[in-house]
Amino acid sequence: MEMSPKSLLEMARGAFLERFDYEVPKIINNILDPNTKATAKRKITMTMTFAPTDDRVGISAELEVNVGLAPTLPVQTFLYVCGNPETGGMQVVEMVPEVPGQQVLDGGEQEPAAVLKLVK
């Protein structure tokens, strides 16, 4: 029986190579996610660890794969602190770009600004 040399990545019944292929879709999905920066670099880090036996006739080879994805972009809003005419106290209201009750381009009506629920 003739033995044909193989890459170490082909060993473990192809599991080493399969681990890399398993992580690639995560990278692609992260690139296509509009909530991440398009040009951010993503990476797959593969760490191979070799642990020889005391008599040096055996070697345990272990592959660890880590994925570095781009973080989601921050989402922000602007809050306005103002008086509440009904209670006389202060309230925090989210600023909206349009006037509440005004008709928006899709034919609907602009929702009123959200008021922050404050815990006493």
- The first and second tokens of residue 120, run together, are 């006493």
Domain ranges of the chain: 8-68, 76-120
Query: Per-residue pLDDT tens for 2-19?
Result: 777 788 888 888 898 999
- The first and second tokens of residue 94, run together, are 């989210």
Query: Per-residue pLDDT tens for 22-43?
Result: 999 999 999 999 999 999 999 9
Q: Write down the pTM of the prediction.
A: 0.65
DSSP string, the chain: -------GGGTGGGHHHHHHHHHHHHHHHHHH-TTB-TT---EEEEEEEEEE-TTSS-EEEEEEEEEEPPPBPP----EEEEE-TTTSSEEEEE--SS-TTPBPTTSSBPPPPPBPPPP-
